[in-house]
Amino acid sequence: MRSIAISVLIFTFTLTSSFAAAVERSLTIGSEILGKDVLYSVYLPNGYESSTRSYPVVYALHGAGGYENYFFDNGFQSILDRLIESKQIPPLIVIMPDGQRSRYINNYDNTVRYEDFFFDELIPEVESKFRVISSKQSRAVAGTSMGGYGSMVYAMSHPDMFAASVSVGGSFCEGERIENMSNDEWNDSTRGAVYGFNLDVPDRLTDHYKAHDPCFIIEDNNSLDLTSVGLYMDCGDDDFRNDGNARLHILMRNNSIEHEYRVGDGAHDWEYFGPRMEQGLIFIASRFGD
């Protein structure tokens, strides 16, 4: 069991020359929607405490099995420090909430309304507590695996909220893989609790599932307008999510949805995710202020 320091600000500093940034770990927000406290961590760029300026913000979403410090425990702070110091991205704030195993959406019977929490409670809390620029053109979302899924679904469901969305190893467009899951695997993965327990093929592709899968969202919505959101997908060539990512890329291309798509040498792990999230942040920076 990892120990969590609730409501205690633990600062970690990275020093490169005179560069110093801070991470505030395991902060809490009391959620009426979820009926419990939710943990989140924050990256504050160098100069935040001594300035009065406001900053663009990126919401970083971890994968299944992750937690609010997952990215930071895997060296994400050093990536941010280096990119900001080298001016490849502007100074920005990064918010990493504990998504638990929610897939970042409301579940099938609305007993867990994570998406409502994210937009109705988390974003307002962040914008009142930290000096973030509270506009679409200075707000982005990025994630890996389940978090990549959440990032892409949020961009499609809330295109008015984000300048850019980055998915690395996103878990979407997986109809064939879902059909091959045993009932136990379906129930024990994030999918049972989110989409409905004990569903047999083809009953697993419910209306709720389709409303929250990027491929079905595109296929079922001829009026979908994503021109104002920069979309970036990346997946390793040895990643078992590769088929779904390729499927979404082809569907987007065939529907003239502008996006960036990358495939690199790697699998479904942080060794691949870290460097590719770095490229995703550079893409986000190119979309800020558009």
In this structure, is residue 236 part of a structural domain? yes
Helix (H, G, I), strand (E, B) or coil at 114: helix
* Number of independent structural domains in the chain: 1
What tens digit of pLDDT does each residue of 116-173 get?
Answer: 999 999 999 999 999 999 999 999 999 999 999 999 999 999 999 999 999 999 999 9
Report the C-alpha gap between 235 and 227 in whole angstroms.
22
- Note the pLDDT of residue 12: 41
In this structure, is residue 69 part of a structural domain? yes
In this structure, is residue 3 part of a structural domain? no
In this structure, is residue 56 part of a structural domain? yes
Domain that holds residue 234: 11-287
Tell me the pLDDT of the chain averaged across its residues. Answer: 92
Higher pLDDT, 17 or 210: 210
pTM of the model: 0.92
In this structure, is residue 34 part of a structural domain? yes
- Note the pLDDT of residue 223: 85
The pair of structure tokens assigned to 129 is 């507590």
In this structure, is residue 167 part of a structural domain? yes
On the 0-12 / 13-18 / 19+ scale of CB atoms within 10 A, 15 is exposed
In this structure, is residue 6 part of a structural domain? no
Segment 74-94 shows an average pLDDT of: 97
- Terminal-to-terminal C-alpha distance of the chain: 43
What tens digit of pLDDT does each residue of 101-117 get?
Answer: 999 999 999 999 999 99
What tens digit of pLDDT does each residue of 247-259 get?
Answer: 999 999 999 999 9
Return the beta strands (E) in the chain as ranges: 11-16, 19-31, 36-44, 57-61, 93-97, 139-144, 164-168, 230-236, 260-264
- Note the pLDDT of residue 179: 87
What tens digit of pLDDT does each residue of 7-52 get?
Answer: 334 434 333 334 578 999 999 999 999 999 999 999 999 999 999 9
Q: Which residues pair with 164 in a beta bridge?
A: 140, 230
CATH number at residue 71: 3.40.50.1820
* pLDDT band for position 290 (cuts 50, 70, 90): low
Report the C-alpha gap between 255 and 275 in whole angstroms.
29
In this structure, is residue 154 part of a structural domain? yes
